Chain A
Amino acid sequence: MNIEVAINYIYILSAVLFAFGLKMLSSPDTARRGNFISAFGMFLAVVGTLISAELSFQWIILGVLIGGLIGLFAARLVAMTAMPEMVALFNGFGGLASLLVGWAVYQYQLSLDALTSVTVFLSVLIGGVTFSGSVVAWGKLSETISGKPVLFKGQQIVNALLLIAAIASGILFGMDPVAGHAFFITAVVVALILGVMVVIPIGGADMPVVISLLNSYSGLAACAAGFVIRNNILIVAGALVGASGIILTNIMCKAMNRSLRNVLFSGFGAVIQKKHEGHQGEVKPINVQDAYFILEAARSVVIVPGYGLAAAQAQHAVCELSEILERNGAEVRYGIHPVAGRMPGHMNVLLAEANVPYDQLFEMDDINPTLDSVDVCIVIGANDVINPAALNDESSPIYGMPIIEVHRARTVFVLKRSMATGFAGVQNELFYYDNTRMLFGDAKASIQGLVSEFKNT
């Protein structure tokens, strides 16, 4: 058997391992093993590649060492609260690698045939958009740049022109790759600008959608690179990732009751809704001690976290409080909205870090029917995902978005710094409900206050 054929069998094995690994990621019991299996598939693909071709190893070894060390340290050192930006950055590097592979193939052999030049162009375009888009997403998530949507007049026209420019330079490049070097460079530059332009109009709380989408793009970029080097394993693995990213994107959009188009182009949250500001009624603040008396008597408690939990780093304090409540005889559950936080499943990871068992975490659709019989709902740093206006105020910009219906509980505590509006810029009428009590202050400090009240009595 010739070695090229043998390598392809190894690639088939890798593809099967990737598929199994992804499948096993869909259950908490098998997920860790699934990840390991998928990593083993990657290892096989790399080893197979290295023994197949007559390669010179010096640059490979150096590159793998540098990349491996950076990856190792980044993965070890990153804080769990910084996970969204880390994932965004890794994503971007995958896209950049695909861009570079396309570029390297072109430089190696300038006289590409028409079909190959199309695939080179696609890998550069998708890879470039993924890279610069992910870097902007990283900046927004880590607050290196403002998380607010950046909008200007004619933005969509500019984006359309950029896309046309990219495609035009791609066509000119494809017609004559040898002479079209300048067009190729233009395509690279335009792709990078385009990536920046499509992510800047998207606001912080829409980031779950963007990260999922960029995830999908990074897979498609790998696919395109696979077409360039005519390699099945890149195509299969890239397509699997592309599909999974699209599924996640779809789930996120549904959880916000918005279309992907709307998320990408509307710059939601940039418009401040003036007419909702003058809400009737008064908010009822509560202090830690009174909150303690109510919690002490509560038999069932539901905790609803939002991005504020991550911002205040309050996950460990929350876990401590919930353990104390359980010892006090209450049933404690967590209600997690699909878009709470800055990436899909953000809250689950944070709470898992604080040792909250995952069978205490409930999805929105499972927790909502039980909320009528709940004594206390504690809302920590969540706002729009619990705003009843989504259910009953047709003029509200978030009308129709599914929410966690905390207002149906007997008492609702809202832990909040101030009366500032949430991401959508909408005043939350929940704060004015008769059964709502506002516990103002830093979420972490408030929870620690509650914990010490329990301990001192």
Chain B
Amino acid sequence: MDPQTLVFLFFIFALAIFLGFELISKVPATLHTPLMSGANAISGITIVGALISAGTVGKPISTVLGFLAVIFATINVVGGYLVTDRMLAMFKKKQSSIKK
């Protein structure tokens, strides 16, 4: 990797950290768990790297490692999004029928 690429990637990294702080600074406590598991699912983005490693024809050992990475990243992504959805589906506002 040449230093210029590194600077470019760091530039993006720094801005994205700031963006993250701005986006999430005002989450109500009620949603802390779904936020965490939703963010957790996003961290499964490493699946992109896993797919490339598993699919690149070359050394068997890196294919095997990539294959394992695909499995774990997919669990993270699929499980993370589904579980978040399951939790969020339960959050309901007050129905008028309960209160009299």
Which residues does A use to contact B, with CB under 8 Å? 18-19, 21-23, 25-28, 31-32, 34-36, 38-39, 42, 45-46, 49-50, 53, 55-57, 59-60, 62-64, 66-68, 70-72, 74-76, 78, 80, 83, 86-87, 90-91, 93-94, 96-98, 100-101, 103-105, 107-108, 113, 115-116, 119, 211-212, 215, 218-219, 221-223, 225-248, 251, 323, 326-327, 336, 338, 343-346, 348-349, 352-353, 355, 357-361, 363
Whether B55 contacts A53 by the Cβ 8 Å rule is: yes
Whether B51 contacts A49 by the Cβ 8 Å rule is: yes
Whether A97 contacts B30 by the Cβ 8 Å rule is: no
- Beyond A68-B74, A100-B50: 20 further Cβ-contacts under 8 Å? A39-B81, A55-B56, A59-B54, A60-B55, A66-B71, A72-B78, A75-B83, A83-B87, A104-B65, A108-B58, A223-B13, A225-B46, A226-B49, A227-B9, A235-B13, A237-B45, A240-B19, A244-B20, A344-B32, A345-B35
Whether B39 contacts A244 by the Cβ 8 Å rule is: yes
A178 to B: closest C-beta gap in Å: 14
Query: Which of B26, B51, B62 meets A108, CB within 8 Å?
Result: B62
Q: Which residues B62-96 have CB closer than 8 A to chain A?
A: 62-63, 65-95
A-B contact count (CB 8 A): 395
Q: Which residues of B contact A62 (CB under 8 A)?
A: 67
Q: Which residues of A contact B83 (CB under 8 A)?
A: 74-75, 78, 83, 86-87, 90
Q: Which residues of B contact A103 (CB under 8 A)?
A: 65
Contact A218-B40, Cβ < 8 Å, known A71-B74, A71-B79, A86-B83? yes
Whether B33 contacts A345 by the Cβ 8 Å rule is: yes
B22 to A: closest C-beta gap in Å: 9
Contact A57-B79, Cβ < 8 Å, known A71-B74, A248-B32, A345-B32? no
Q: Which residues of B contact A233 (CB under 8 A)?
A: 45, 48
Whether B12 contacts A235 by the Cβ 8 Å rule is: yes
Bound-state CA distance A12–B62 (Å) is 28
Contact A240-B69, Cβ < 8 Å, known A68-B78, A344-B32? no
Whether B32 contacts A357 by the Cβ 8 Å rule is: no
A286 to B: closest C-beta gap in Å: 28
